[in-house]
A = this chain, B = another copy of it.
């Protein structure tokens, strides 16, 4: 997705060989127009699939999941990263380790919102090791619902997430694929761009 690549090149900050900071438009401050374009692009990428609901995880997945859900006119659900007092029973849960934050969270979603006949599109902001996406897919499968596919805003293609997800049988669509962040330079998978 060209607009996203341009935003990454113009506004992203390479923090290390493994970490790209996109706090100006995706992870802290949010550019709603760019995120709306992401929603349109996800709908195109999964065109022809029957989707009844979108599942994401708080907090940075919410905005791109929202615009995709709005485009499709269907609801979305966001998994929580720790148990909340007002959601104390009736939960699906999975453990997810974040290598970036070096912590393991229990992610949960109410059983009320993923039903057996649901066809779920999973949306998340980053794909690195695949932990979050696999955790979300686990929630769907615990409910005996179907994962239609996994839509990712930014994929770190130099990490094993996509491979793990494809081996598990999921269609993965990423709006930007990073080949490398080495030498403080963003390189995309399909083309080489200098920053």
Interface positions of A (Cβ within 8 A of B) = 15, 19, 21, 23-25, 27-33, 35-36, 58-59, 62-63, 66-67, 69-70, 73-78, 80, 84-87, 100-102, 109-110, 112-113
Copies, count? 2
- 27 residue pairs bridging A and B, Cβ less than 8 Å apart: A19-B86, A21-B86, A23-B110, A23-B112, A24-B112, A25-B75, A27-B86, A28-B78, A29-B75, A29-B76, A29-B110, A30-B69, A30-B75, A30-B77, A31-B75, A32-B73, A32-B75, A32-B76, A33-B73, A35-B66, A58-B58, A62-B62, A62-B63, A62-B66, A63-B66, A66-B67, A85-B100
